[in-house]
């Protein structure tokens, strides 16, 4: 394991630096890329016991087949707990050898060679993810791939998105946020207009103040960081998919409200004291994901979505 990790590190150390450069570009939407690897490793650590027993799902399914149909959800829950313990005892027997996949690993190795030659950050990051998937598939088998589906898919967030695509997304999101901000300001009685279609937003006052998107930082990067962390956290929570989806939507709405409130505050301050905005903008930007996280915790508490998965060991 250690040797494999060192070898992977040697192969992908240089490309990793180029990915980081992309994440840390000024006002980059992909700032969340910085936390993807630590979050994935943390997820693996928290679910280490589950990953050690990848056959558990199959055994549980076989054991429960045809027995759970007519039970209420509470009965199912209680039964599942008992049977879960029974399955664990079954696992003391020698497990069947995992079904290993060699071809994906071989293809990933070949793709890594090509990626090293092309040396484009997007392609090298894809090669890294494919290599990890290939390694898991060969070392631990198909069942392990299924169990580790979330962290493996989560790793795709590492892949630096080509600049033009990211730019299109940024322009679209900036346009939406700016027009929303304009409506809020007009409703608050502050006269403003959008120049050059969507950016800057000019506050019409005695001394007009132009609110440029990247000067004040709209907060799109922290919002996406919050979204990624939210998805990661919810993957550890024991709840139905629709409940989690609802929690994510609530989180996004809450974050949008915070962003707009922050920008409205900056616009109001900017009319009176432009210099103050230069101090206030970065300070409030740091607070944005923190306040967002606190609000999201209240949402999760409200919808009773706080219990961790069985295998999560904190």
Partner 1 sequence: MSKIPKVGLHIIALLILTGLGSFGARLANHWRISRQEMVPIPEHIDVNQYRWMGADCAPPVGDGERDHPIALNRVYQLGIHAPVFVSIARINTLNGLRSPASYLMDTDGRLMEGNRAEIREVGKKRVRFVMEIAQGHDSTILLMHWVQAPNQPAYADYADIPKSVAKALLLHSTLYSCDIWVPLRSDSNGAFIRSTLVRFADDIEAQIQTGHLPKDTANLLPPPGQLNQDGSPVNTPVPSPAIAPIPAPGIPSPLSPTPPGSSPGGNGSSSPFSNSPADSPGGSPTGGL
Which residues in this chain contact partner 1 in the complex, by CB under 8 A?
3-4, 7-8, 10-11, 14, 18, 21-22, 25-27, 97, 100, 102, 105-106, 109, 112-114, 116-122, 131, 135, 138-139, 162-164, 167, 171, 195-197, 199-200, 210, 212-215
CB of 293 to partner 1, least distance (A): 26
Q: Which one, 34 or 135, has the nearer CB to partner 1? A: 135
Q: Which one, 60 or 173, has the nearer CB to partner 1? A: 173
Using an 8 Å Cβ cutoff, are 261 and 284 in contact?
no
CB of 38 to partner 1, least distance (A): 23
Q: Which one, 74 or 196, has the nearer CB to partner 1? A: 196
Instruction: Single out the residue of 262, 253, 257 nearest to residue 282, CA to CA.
Output: 262
Give burial (CB, 10 Å; 0-12/13-18/19+) of 55: middle
Using an 8 Å Cβ cutoff, are 227 and 255 in contact?
yes
Across 287-306, b (16+ Cβ under 10 Å) vs e yields ebbebbeebbeebbeeeebe
Q: Which one, 18 or 256, has the nearer CB to partner 1? A: 18
Sign of CA dihedral 183, 250, 221, 290: positive
CB of 58 to partner 1, least distance (A): 19
CB of 178 to partner 1, least distance (A): 12
Q: Left if phi > 0, otherwise alpha if psi is -120 to 50, otherwise beta: which for 202?
A: beta
Q: Which one, 174 or 309, has the nearer CB to partner 1? A: 174
- Tell me how many helices (H) and strands (E) the chain has: 14, 3
Q: Please give the torsion angle defined by the CA atoms of residues 106, 112, 113 and 116, in that order, rounded to the nearest 10 degrees.
A: 180
Tokens standing for residue 145:
């791939």
Torsions phi, psi for 84 (to 5 deg): -60, -45
CB of 60 to partner 1, least distance (A): 25
CB of 168 to partner 1, least distance (A): 10
Q: What is the CA radius of gyration of the chain?
A: 24
- Give SS3 for 211: strand
Using an 8 Å Cβ cutoff, are 174 and 135 in contact?
no
Q: Which one, 46 or 269, has the nearer CB to partner 1? A: 269
CB of 214 to partner 1, least distance (A): 4
Q: Which one, 215 or 309, has the nearer CB to partner 1? A: 215
């Amino acid at each position: 394991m250690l040797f494999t990790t060192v070898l992977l590190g040697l192969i992908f150390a240089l490309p990793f630096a180029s990915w980081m450069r992309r994440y840390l570009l000024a006002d980059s939407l992909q700032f969340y890329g910085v936390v993807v690897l630590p979050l994935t490793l943390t997820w693996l650590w928290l679910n280490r016991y589950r990953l050690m027993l990848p056959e558990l799902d199959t055994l549980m399914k076989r054991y429960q087949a045809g027995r759970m149909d007519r039970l209420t959800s509470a009965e199912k829950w209680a039964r599942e707990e008992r049977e879960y313990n029974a399955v664990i005892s079954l696992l003391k027997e020698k497990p069947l050898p995992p079904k290993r996949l060699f071809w994906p690993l071989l293809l990933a190795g070949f793709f890594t060679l090509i990626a090293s030659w092309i040396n484009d950050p997007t392609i090298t990051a894809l090669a890294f993810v494919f290599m990890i998937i290939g390694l898991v598939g060969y070392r631990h088998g198909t069942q392990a791939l299924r169990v580790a589906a979330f962290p493996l898919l989560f790793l795709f967030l590492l892949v630096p998105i080509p600049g033009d695509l990211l730019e299109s997304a940024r322009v679209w999101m900036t346009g939406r946020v700016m027009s929303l901000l304009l409506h809020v300001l007009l409703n608050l009685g502050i006269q403003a207009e959008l120049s050059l279609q969507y950016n800057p937003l000019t506050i019409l006052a005695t001394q007009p103040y132009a609110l440029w998107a990247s000067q004040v930082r709209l907060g799109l990067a922290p919002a996406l960081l919050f979204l990624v962390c939210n998805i990661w956290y919810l993957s550890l929570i024991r709840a139905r998919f629709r409940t989690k989806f609802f929690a994510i939507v609530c989180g996004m709405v809450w974050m949008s409200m915070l962003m707009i409130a922050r920008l409205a505050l900056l616009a109001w301050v900017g009319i009176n004291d432009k210099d103050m905005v230069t101090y206030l903008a970065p300070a409030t930007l740091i607070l944005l994901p923190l306040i967002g996280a606190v609000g999201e915790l209240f949402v999760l508490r409200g919808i009773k979505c706080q219990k961790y998965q069985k295998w999560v060991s904190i």
